[in-house]
Amino acid sequence: MVNGWVTKVGNHSGDLGAPFVTAVTAAVAAFATATGLHVTESGEISPISITALTAQHALAVQMQTNLYTVGIANSDAPAEIIVIQIF
C-alpha cells in the first residue's frame, strides 16, 4: 500500500509539487525504518521492537488520517490549490 502511494506520487509529481513529494518520501522512509526494526535476528520480538511497532502503528494511522483529511477538505478543489493549502 505504501509503495503504491510512492509510485502514484512519483507519477503525478508535476501536479503535486516538490514539497508534497518530499513529505511523502520522508514519511515512507520513516515507516520503512519502523517496520525494519520490529523483529530481532532470532525472530523473537524484543522490547525495543515493541516500541518500534507502536511507532509504526501510530505513523500508519496518522498517514491515513492525513490522507483522508486532505481528501475531504479539498474534494472539490483543483490539485494546485490543495498543495498550496497543505504547504
Q: Where are the domains of the chain?
A: 2-86
Contact 80, 19 (CB under 8 A): no
Min mean pLDDT across 8-12, 31-35, 68-72 is at 31-35
Model-level pTM?
A: 0.38
Contact 20, 87 (CB under 8 A): yes
Contact 23, 13 (CB under 8 A): no
Give the integer Cα–Cα distance in Å for 46 and 51. Answer: 9
Collapse the DSSP code of 5 into the 3-class scheme (helix H, G, I; strand E, B; otherwise coil) and give the result.
helix
Under the phi-then-psi rule, with left for phi > 0, alpha for psi from -120 to 50, and beta for the rest, what region is 69? alpha
The per-residue pLDDT for range 44-75, each reduced to its tens digit, is 556 667 788 888 999 999 999 888 887 777 67
Which three cell numbers, joined as nine digits, stand for 37?
A: 526494526
